[in-house]
């Protein structure tokens, strides 16, 4: 797996990956040496969901705190700055102070806004997001930023991106394991499509993975 940019993660993928020890390891296998970041709002959403839906996500809060304490995840402050406020205004067409009072999809919007600030400052960055509306917003922002001459590159990743980057690792050694892991994750996240609608099991992916291991 090639090195990639740091990734700013939304609450949906956090919950899906951190719900189990094996998928937490897969998340970091997919990231490789890249850093993992999340806005404060995502942290609040993750902890709230972990407490509200303890049967599915009850272990997530403890895992989150563990990886933060180990400096394996950086929580980004959502304090208003000129750069962050400008990104929010552009994405939402309203002042940041007003948008921060509206909780719906706030975390995913801040994921994109934080990423935009970093990319416009010249840093390559990825957003890790799964929901359709958030993905569309991120892709629109990526097209804008990637057309700027002096900016870094903004990439839009999802759960499948991480799984593909981890394919062939000790945590995802073959297609059978990929299928089992994905079905377990899909039971936790309704935004994930059926595996037949992805390229996670395609021969080309695994032939390339096997060739790289030889």
Q: Does 3 score more than 70 pLDDT? A: no
Q: What is this structure's pTM?
A: 0.94
Q: How confident is the model at residue 213 (pLDDT cuts 50, 70, 90)?
A: low
Q: What is the pLDDT of residues 104-158, one digit of tens each?
A: 999 999 999 999 999 999 999 999 999 999 999 999 999 999 999 888 999 999 9
Q: Where are the domains of the chain?
A: 6-213
Nearest to 142 by CA among 112, 164, 98: 112
Burial of 137-154, coded b for 16+ CB within 10 Å and e otherwise, reads bbeebbeebeeeeebbeb
pLDDT at residue 151, rounded to an integer: 86
Class of domain 6-213: alpha beta
CA distance 35 to 154: 15
């Amino acid at each position: 797996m090639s090195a990639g940019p740091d990734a700013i993660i939304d609450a949906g993928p956090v919950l899906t990956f951190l719900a189990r020890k094996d998928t937490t390891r897969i998340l970091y296998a997919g990231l490789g040496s890249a850093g993992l970041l999340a806005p404060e709002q995502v942290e609040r959403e993750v902890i709230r969901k972990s407490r509200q839906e303890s049967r599915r996500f009850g272990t997530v809060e403890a895992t989150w705190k563990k990886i933060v304490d180990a400096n394996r995840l950086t929580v980004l402050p959502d304090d208003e700055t000129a750069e962050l406020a400008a990104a929010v205004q552009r994405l939402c067409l309203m002042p940041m102070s007003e948008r921060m009072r509206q909780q719906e999809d706030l975390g995913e919007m801040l994921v994109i806004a934080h990423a935009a600030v970093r990319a416009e400052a010249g840093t390559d960055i990825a957003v890790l997001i799964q929901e359709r509306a958030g993905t569309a917003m991120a892709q629109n922002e990526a097209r804008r930023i990637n057309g700027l001459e002096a900016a870094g590159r903004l990439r839009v990743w999802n759960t499948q991106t991480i799984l593909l980057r981890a394919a062939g690792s000790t945590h995802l050694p073959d297609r059978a394991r990929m299928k089992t892991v994905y079905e377990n994750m899909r039971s936790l996240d309704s935004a994930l499509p059926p595996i037949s609608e992805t390229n996670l099991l395609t021969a080309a992916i695994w032939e390339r993975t096997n060739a790289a291991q030889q």
